[in-house]
């Protein structure tokens, strides 16, 4: 299958600071990238969908000014958590969708664990 990477894999930051998480599709072009958030023992909740070169579409209840998403190229999307607070501590997972082996497929990154102190 195709490979999606995330960086960093984990990060600890102080309350009030901003954190940027990168998501890269390593061997295919991702026309669409999705950002999910998962709290312990809960399901993955979709935060936003981004298409390359377009503004992200946010799910209801997700603050677009707090979670800034940029999808500037077909292989890179970034999620910036601005003015982070302890309640933003979570597991953030990206997913990239593109043409792989002749058809559209979707792959998940390994996730980024964010802890805000």
- Which residues of the chain form contacts with other proteins (CB under 8 A)? 1, 31-32, 34, 41-46, 49, 51, 57, 93, 95, 97, 104, 106-111
Of 32 and 89, the one with the shorter C-beta distance to other proteins is: 32
Shortest Cβ 28–other proteins spacing (Å): 14
Q: Which of 43, 91, 84, 44 is nearest to 67 (CA)?
A: 84
Shortest Cβ 116–other proteins spacing (Å): 18
Of 36 and 81, the one with the shorter C-beta distance to other proteins is: 36
Element (H, E) at 74: none
d(CA 1, CA 17): 36
- Angstrom CA distances, 92 to 1, 7, 67, 103, stand at 21, 11, 11, 26
Shortest Cβ 42–other proteins spacing (Å): 7
Of 1 and 86, the one with the shorter C-beta distance to other proteins is: 1
Shortest Cβ 83–other proteins spacing (Å): 26
Of 28 and 107, the one with the shorter C-beta distance to other proteins is: 107
Block residue for tokens 């979670």: 67
């Amino acid at each position: 299958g195709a490979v999606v990477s995330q960086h960093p894999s984990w990060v600890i930051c102080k309350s009030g600071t901003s954190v940027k998480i990168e998501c890269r599709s390593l061997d295919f072009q991702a026309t669409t990238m999705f950002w999910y958030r998962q709290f312990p023992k809960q399901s993955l909740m979709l935060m936003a969908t981004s298409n390359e070169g377009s503004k992200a579409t946010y799910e209801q209840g997700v603050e677009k000014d707090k979670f800034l998403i940029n999808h500037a190229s077909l292989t890179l999307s970034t999620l910036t958590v601005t003015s982070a607070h302890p309640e933003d501590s979570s597991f953030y997972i990206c997913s990239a969708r593109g043409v792989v082996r002749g058809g559209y497929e979707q792959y998940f990154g390994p996730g980024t664990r964010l802890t805000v102190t």
